[in-house]
Structure 1
Amino acid sequence: MNTEIIHFLVGLWHNKPLIGALFAIVVTQILKVPVHYFMHGSWDMHKVIDAGGMPSSHAAGVVALVAALSYVVGTRSATFAVAVVFAAIVMYDAGGIRRHAGEHAVLLNRIAMEMSRMNMQPETSATTEEGERLKEILGHEPREVVVGAIVGLIVGVIFGKWWL
């Protein structure tokens, strides 16, 4: 293998904020399966790849990035400041805008179902081109964002302090 590629891969492996953020995302996506079981009484392995739900992998990833960066570059750096603003925007989007889009999808799906039952379905309905219903769980409730942020903080501190 080319030495430049090896140096690149080693550099990625030693990048605490990157590895910490990715690890936090993976951990929270995996946690969604047992959390779903305890909340709903059924195992759903698709939760590993689904957006939305408890805990927020969006929040976990960005908070882990911020926490690890605080150890690597310090809290006075411009990089840290950019990461904090980025994290705030992502968490606001995950817990607000995307959640509201999901709530709109619920209503649109309900309207489309009613119109279909009444034989009034217009040419454009609340389905995708393939005829599937709109995805309703897009974002997160505030508690899902908070739990994701806590997981991200723990993972980010661990990676920031002790990763390689």
Structure 2
Amino acid sequence: MLFLEQMAKNQVFIVALVSWFVAQTLKVIYTLIKDKKLNLYRFVGSGGMPSSHSSLVMGLSTAVGLKSGWDSIPYAIALSFALIIMYDASGVRRAVGKQAIILNKIIEDRHHHKPIGEQRLKELIGHTPFEVFAGAILGIIIANLMI
């Protein structure tokens, strides 16, 4: 119980959570506007606009920089962590999503000829560079508003 009480008082952790929460909420709103239907799965799903991964890690690293100083070791660690996460979101995870689209098409085409028992792969996994950038900016803004 003491751990939870202390975490609830940790401003840096709260900034990271709020950054994630706002980004996930914006995904639901963005999908509602774009597709004209409410998709609550977008609140917990990965991929999409804006990147909640980027928002969380940039909110975290910005909060660490504001609290510890821009020349501190904790800020250097947090920023390095953020850059790796954002690179992964727009690089590796995006490539996996593109591969899933192709594999799903192959599975779909095969279904017309011969039934196979494969399930569709999740296609919305990674982010475009713009989605990552938007998430990063969102995290920076939230950290500056909260710290």
CA displacement at 1:120 relative to structure 2? 7.2
- In the alignment, is residue 70 of structure 1 matched against residue 65 of structure 2? yes
- Structure 1 residue runs of 5 or longer lacking an equivalent are none
CA displacement at 1:10 relative to structure 2? 3.2
Q: What is the aligned partner in structure 1 of residue 77 from structure 2?
A: 82
Could you say which structure has the larger radius of gyration? 1
Measure, in 1, the Cα distance between the counterparts of 2:37 and 2:4: 40
Measure, in 1, the Cα distance between the counterparts of 2:81 and 2:113: 46
The sequence identity of aligned pairs, in percent, is 37
- Alignment-mate amino acid for residue 38 of structure 2: W
Q: What is the aligned partner in structure 2 of residue 138 from structure 1?
A: 125
Whether the 8 Å CA contact 1:17–1:159 is kept in 2: the answer is no
Question: Secondary structure in 1 aligned to 2:88?
Answer: helix
Question: Which 4+ runs in 1 deviate beyond 3 A?
Answer: none
Q: What is the aligned partner in structure 2 of residue 159 from structure 1?
A: 146
Q: 1:57 aligns with which of 52, 72, 75?
A: 52
Measure, in 2, the Cα distance between the counterparts of 1:50 and 1:44: 10
CA-atom RMSD, angstroms?
Answer: 1.5
Q: What is the aligned partner in structure 2 of residue 147 from structure 1?
A: 134
- In the alignment, is residue 22 of structure 1 matched against residue 17 of structure 2? yes
CA displacement at 1:85 relative to structure 2? 0.7
Measure, in 2, the Cα distance between the counterparts of 1:34 and 1:9: 31
Length-normalised TM-score, structure 2: 0.93
